[in-house]
């Protein structure tokens, strides 16, 4: 969802910097990129182990970040290029569509409601309720089960290396649409297809993936 359906990665970055600043941590954009795709609690645990701040426990910092991101999404969240196109594309072909995200469920629900796309999904799964977050495949496996599909029948769309790794570990065909500054990352070679935009996906690519 984040960075693929909604342009929320900058909002996450701002929210984290604002909240971490309250415990004396200067989290640069470069540092924040190290934890992209992880669950919020895992991000907070990671940086707490690094910076060893005091005054607020990890749960409080986690909740403050989630609240801040939700507020920013509702106030200024915008759909990524090609969102309506890709949802319409698979809806017209009678595909079941699931959303598998590392974000907490309350944030996912706020985002899909804000964009008016909740009814486009047949299943929504949050890694919040899994024993392991991405790059572990758990959230993808749960989403496939909710859809009544086997992972081998699924096609996953991702924007991060962490998410791509999770989808491939679930044995799903995977399309990656990385952020512009990260398109040259050689780790994306693990994906079946790499695109610059969701708008580039077409019948030819689908046929190749189904072959």
pLDDT digits over 1-48, tens only? 999 999 998 899 899 999 999 999 998 888 888 888 788 999 999 999
Residue 189, C-beta contacts closer than 8 angstroms, at least 6 positions apart = none
Domains observed in the chain: 9-76 (1.10.150.240), 83-210 (3.40.50.1000)
Cα–Cα distance measured from residue 65 to residue 46, given in angstroms and rounded to the nearest whole number: 14
Residue 102: the pLDDT is 92
Cα–Cα distance measured from residue 102 to residue 201, given in angstroms and rounded to the nearest whole number: 24
H or E segment at 194? strand 193-194
Residue 30: the pLDDT is 84
3 state SS of 137: coil
Cα–Cα distance measured from residue 152 to residue 119, given in angstroms and rounded to the nearest whole number: 25
H or E segment at 57? none
* Whether 72 contacts 15, CB under 8 Å: yes
Tens-place pLDDT, residues 89-142: 999 999 999 999 999 999 999 999 999 999 999 999 999 999 999 999 999 999
Tens-place pLDDT, residues 164-185: 999 999 999 999 999 888 899 9
Residue 101: the pLDDT is 95
The token pair at 189 is 């070679």
* Whether 168 contacts 174, CB under 8 Å: yes
Residue 38: the pLDDT is 85
Cα–Cα distance measured from residue 1 to residue 121, given in angstroms and rounded to the nearest whole number: 12
Task: Give me Rg for the CA atoms of the chain.
Answer: 17
Using the structure block, give the residue that is written with the tokens 């992880």. 38
Which residues on adjacent β-strands are paired with residue 99? 124
């Amino acid at each position: 969802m984040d960075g693929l359906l909604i342009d929320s990665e900058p909002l996450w970055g701002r929210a984290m910097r604002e909240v971490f600043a309250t415990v004396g941590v200067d989290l640069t954009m470069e540092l924040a990129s190290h934890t992209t795709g992880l669950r919020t609690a895992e991000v907070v645990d990671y940086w707490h182990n690094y910076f060893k701040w005091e005054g607020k426990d990890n749960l409080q910092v986690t909740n403050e970040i989630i609240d801040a991101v939700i507020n920013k999404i509702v106030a200024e969240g915008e759909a990524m290029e090609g969102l309506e196109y890709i949802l319409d594309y698979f809806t017209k072909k009678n595909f079941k569509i699931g959303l598998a995200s590392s974000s907490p469920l309350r944030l996912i629900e706020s985002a899909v409601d804000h964009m008016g796309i909740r009814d486009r999904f047949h299943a929504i799964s949050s890694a919040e309720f899994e024993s392991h977050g991405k790059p572990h495949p758990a959230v993808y496996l749960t989403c496939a089960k909710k859809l009544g599909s086997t992972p081998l029948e699924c096609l996953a769309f991702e924007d991060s290396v962490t998410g791509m790794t999770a989808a491939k570990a679930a044995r799903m065909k995977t399309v990656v649409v990385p952020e512009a500054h990260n398109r040259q990352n050689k780790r994306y070679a693990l994906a079946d297809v790499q695109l610059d935009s969701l708008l580039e996906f077409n019948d030819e690519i689908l046929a190749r993936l189904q072959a």
